[in-house]
Structures are given as C-alpha cells and as structure tokens.
Structure 1
C-alpha cells in the first residue's frame, strides 16, 4: 500500500531490456564485453531484493520502502514514505 505521491516511484520492472536495444547479453552497442571476468563484474548487478528491511519486523523489502506490505497495511501507512494513508482504528486485525 503506497500513497499517490509514491506510485510514480514504482515504475521499475525486473524484466530485461528488449533484444539488441542496449541489452547486457549482446556484444553490439557496448553490451557484453568479450573475455570479461564475471567475478569482477558482479558488483554492478541489480538485485531485486536489495538490502532494505522493514523497520518493524526486519523482513526484506522488494522495493525502496521502509515497511513491508503486511506492516504497512496493519499500521495504515504508505510503505515507501510512512505517511498515514488509511485509518485502521475500527479494523479487527490479528497477528496470525
């Protein structure tokens, strides 16, 4: 659950680039280098889970967020910025 302001930040996709349009698996256009040492070039790799963790439960978060989806919904806050989005005063929620 994210606010309207943070919805614009969710445009990243995991799907790779189209074939031969700057994809990393082609040799044309500065893509893959010939005889490249893969152990040295790993540090530029994009990781979808990254190192970000939820503030409350310390679970890994898949986007640039402060809260995981479960904690954000139970608190009624935006997962990315922490702004109050939903009033959960009259909700019956459990931890199960």
Structure 2
C-alpha cells in the first residue's frame, strides 16, 4: 500500500538482459571476468531486499520502505513515507 506521491519512487521490475546487447554476463562487454573468484567478489553483489527493516515488526522490507505490507495495511499508512492513506477504524482486523 503506497500513496500516489511514493508510487513514482517504486523501482522497476527486474528483466533479464538481452544476449550480447549490453548484457553484463558476457566477456565481450567487460562485465564478466574469466576465472573470477566468486567469494571475493561477493561484496558487490545485488541484494533484492537490502538491509531495511519494518519499524513495527522488524521484518525485512523491499524498496526502501518503512513498513512491511502487512503492517502498512493494518495501520492504513503508506509503506514508504508513513502518510495516512486509508481509514481502518471500521475494519475488523486480527493479528493472527
């Protein structure tokens, strides 16, 4: 649950690179090294969830959000900025 302002900040969907058209997994473009030690080059690896955690439940969150989807919906706030988006006063919600 994201507000209209934060909807523009959402990241794009991951799509595999086209073969040999600027792909990072070919040796011709300089993206992949031959006989590379993967354990040493692991520190530059991309992590989809990053290191951000939900403020309420401490669960890992994606795309630089403050709240996870479950907490954002139960509180009725935007997951990225925390602005009130939805009135959940009359909703019947449980923590189970």
Q: TM-score range by the shorter chain?
A: 0.7 to 0.9
Q: How many residues align?
A: 96
Segments of 4+ moved more than 3 angstroms: none
- Determine if contact 1:66/1:81 at 8 Å carries over to the other structure: yes
For residues 21-57 of structure 1, give each alpha carbon's deviation from its aligned partner in whole angstroms, at most 9, with x where no partner exists.
3322111222102222222211111111211110000
In 2: Cα distance, 1:75 partner to 1:91 partner: 11
Query: Any stretches of 5+ residues in structure 2 without a counterpart?
Result: none
TM-score with structure 1 length normalisation?
0.88
In 2: Cα distance, 1:15 partner to 1:71 partner: 29
The alpha-carbon deviation at position 15 of structure 1 amounts to 3.0
TM-score with structure 2 length normalisation?
0.88
CA-atom RMSD in angstroms: 1.4
In 2: Cα distance, 1:41 partner to 1:22 partner: 21
